[in-house]
């Protein structure tokens, strides 16, 4: 009976061979990211039942979720902490993919779909921050409006006066429908390309063994349970931050930690807010087309690796700097 179901549902097609290194932790970071994303979608579905994007009610509805909805505080905590695990694992996934030269031919488009997924994650975190509609959320929106203002007609879609519907309501739609739709679409492309090309070879000596793909899925299920456990414990122990209603015209907060590198740069020159993310994205986009050498060995990729490590350390340094400097005024 169960065998029949397995056949009808195509579960048997998961029994194919993959190289054994595909089961090593660095090669499961993409899968773990996918798990955090799934936790985010499920907890997000629940939160939408209680959140109200009207300016007068947004902040209050989060207080309602936190204080009055049954287990609302827990679901909100899960949502917040899954963002943190996702940010950490997607960054480590990118570093692994870079170090193992998996962006090189024939995986250029897998890499590009990954870069697009990364920018969507940035969009999710930005819009999610605004939805809280506390001082931090309000200031995140002001920064975005300022940036869009500099793009004239091209920034109009994201400006306050594009539509009679309040921008908070429109960003809510972006957060709960446009971004999920685009990310699911891109994920399908990402996973399809991974299946087509197979996992990239190891850069060090491999053992040449092959294993069944279902062993990879079993590993991911274990890591998934562990991730859910970590996220749940954090949700119980540490409450996500939430300030009161925002005060207009004030700049008194810093962005979430993953944007602190940008915040530090903005402290130096406010236009970095526009320049820096675009330069980083452009570099990531162009990487497979600039670094076209076929070697995947670390010692034969000294220039690419040095540049990558310098950028990475600079970003970490800027994040630490952002943590220790006090909030200041930037907008003109
Ligand atoms: C939502 C975000 C992402 C998800 C869910 C995801 C998921 C995955 C999964 C499940 C794999 C299979 C191997 C592994 O787990 O390491 C993978 C491989 C890959 N990913 Fe991602 N990924 C994401 C973001 C990114 C980003 C930001 C990049 C790079 C900019 C990227 C580039 C790649 C490449 C090139 C591969 C092929 C690696 C190889 O063959 O060794 N991905 N991804």
The 10s digit of each residue's pLDDT in 267-276 is 999 999 999 9
| Res 10: pLDDT | 84
| Res 2: pLDDT | 74
Residue 91: phi and psi, rounded to 5, are -65, -45
Does 27 sit in the ligand 1 pocket, CB within 6 Å? yes
First CA to last CA distance, the chain? 69
| Res 224: pLDDT | 97
Question: Which atom of ligand 1 lies at the shortest distance from residue 120's CA?
Answer: 1
- When pLDDT is averaged across residues 237-260 and rounded to a whole number, the result is 93
Q: Under a CB-based contact definition with an 8 Å cutoff, are residues 141 and 167 in contact?
A: yes
Is 13 inside a domain boundary?
no
In this prediction, residue 251 has a pLDDT band, given cuts at 50, 70 and 90, of confident
Domain count, the chain: 1
Is 36 inside a domain boundary?
yes
What tokens does 182 get? 């685009």
- When pLDDT is averaged across residues 137-146 and rounded to a whole number, the result is 94
Is 178 inside a domain boundary?
yes
Q: Looking up tokens 């294993």, which residue turns up?
A: 211
Is 68 inside a domain boundary?
yes
| Res 11: pLDDT | 82
What tokens does 193 get? 């390309």
pLDDT at 240 over 70: yes
pLDDT at 330 over 80: no
Average the pLDDT over each of 52-66, 113-127, 158-172, 308-322 and give the range with the smallest value. 158-172
72 C-alpha to ligand 1 centroid (Å):
32
DSSP tally for the chain: helices H, then strands E: 12, 2
| Res 246: pLDDT | 95
What tokens does 272 get? 């970095």
Is 283 inside a domain boundary?
no
pLDDT at 1 over 80: no
In this prediction, residue 31 has a pLDDT band, given cuts at 50, 70 and 90, of very high
CA dihedral 166, 328, 323, 33 (to 10 degrees): 20
* Dist. CA 308–CA 323, nearest whole Å: 23
What tokens does 207 get? 């053992």
**Residue 66 lies in domain:** 20-249
Is 105 inside a domain boundary?
yes
Is 332 inside a domain boundary?
no
Does 179 sit in the ligand 1 pocket, CB within 6 Å? no
In this prediction, residue 126 has a pLDDT band, given cuts at 50, 70 and 90, of very high
* Dist. CA 173–CA 176, nearest whole Å: 5
pLDDT at 206 over 90: no
- When pLDDT is averaged across residues 154-163 and rounded to a whole number, the result is 83
| Res 55: pLDDT | 95
Task: Quote the percentage of the chain above a pLDDT of 90.
Answer: 84
Nearest residue (CA) to ligand 1, atom 41: 200
| Res 249: pLDDT | 81
* Dist. CA 80–CA 39, nearest whole Å: 10
Q: In CATH, what number is assigned to the domain containing residue 80?
A: 1.20.810.10
328 C-alpha to ligand 1 centroid (Å):
37
| Res 210: pLDDT | 95
pLDDT at 329 over 80: no
What tokens does 292 get? 């076209």
pLDDT at 162 over 90: no
Nearest residue (CA) to ligand 1, atom 7: 30
Task: Quote the percentage of the chain above a pLDDT of 70.
Answer: 98
Does 298 sit in the ligand 1 pocket, CB within 6 Å? no
Nearest residue (CA) to ligand 1, atom 2: 117
116 C-alpha to ligand 1 centroid (Å):
11
Sign of CA dihedral 98, 101, 102, 105: positive
| Res 271: pLDDT | 95
Is 325 inside a domain boundary?
no
Of 20, 27, 28, 30, which is best to mutate to test ligand 1, by the most ligand atoms within 8 angstroms of its C-beta? 30
Note the pTM of the prediction, 2 decimals. Answer: 0.95
pLDDT at 159 over 90: no
- When pLDDT is averaged across residues 50-77 and rounded to a whole number, the result is 98
30 C-alpha to ligand 1 centroid (Å):
5
- Burial of 303 per CB tally in 10 Å (0-12, 13-18, 19+): exposed
pLDDT at 41 over 90: yes
């Amino acid at each position: 009976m169960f065998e029949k179901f397995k056949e009808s549902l195509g579960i048997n097609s998961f029994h194919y061979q993959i190289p054994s290194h595909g089961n090593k932790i660095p090669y499961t970071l993409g899968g773990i990211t996918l798990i955090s994303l799934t936790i985010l979608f499920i907890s997000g579905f629940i939160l939408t039942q209680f959140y109200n994007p009207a300016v007068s009610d947004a902040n209050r509805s989060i207080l309602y979720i936190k204080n009055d909805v049954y287990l609302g505080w827990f679901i909100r905590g899960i949502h917040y902490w899954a963002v943190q695990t996702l940010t950490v694992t997607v960054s480590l996934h990118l570093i692994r993919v870079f170090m193992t030269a998996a962006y090189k031919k024939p995986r250029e488009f897998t890499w590009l779909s990954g870069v697009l997924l990364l920018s969507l994650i940035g969009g999710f975190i930005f819009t999610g921050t605004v939805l809280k509609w506390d001082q931090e959320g309000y200031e995140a929106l002001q920064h975005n409006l300022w940036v869009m203002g500099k793009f004239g007609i091209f920034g109009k879609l994201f400006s306050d006066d594009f539509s009679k519907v309040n921008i908070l309501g429109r960003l809510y739609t972006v957060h709960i429908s446009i971004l999920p739709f685009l990310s699911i679409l891109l994920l399908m492309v990402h996973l399809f390309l991974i299946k087509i090309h197979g996992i990239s070879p190891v850069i060090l000596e491999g053992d040449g063994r092959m294993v069944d793909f279902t062993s990879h899925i079993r590993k991911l299920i274990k890591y998934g349970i562990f991730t859910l456990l970590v996220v749940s414990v954090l949700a119980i122990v540490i409450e996500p931050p939430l300030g009161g209603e925002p005060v207009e015209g004030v700049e008194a907060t810093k962005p979430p930690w993953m944007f602190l590198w940008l915040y530090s740069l903005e402290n130096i020159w406010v236009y970095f807010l526009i320049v820096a993310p675009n330069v980083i994205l452009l570099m990531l986009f162009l990487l497979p087309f600039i670094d076209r050498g076929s070697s995947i060995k670390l010692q034969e990729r000294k220039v690419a690796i040095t540049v990558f490590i310098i950028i990475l350390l600079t970003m970490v340094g800027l994040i630490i700097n952002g943590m220790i400097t006090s909030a200041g005024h930037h907008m003109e």
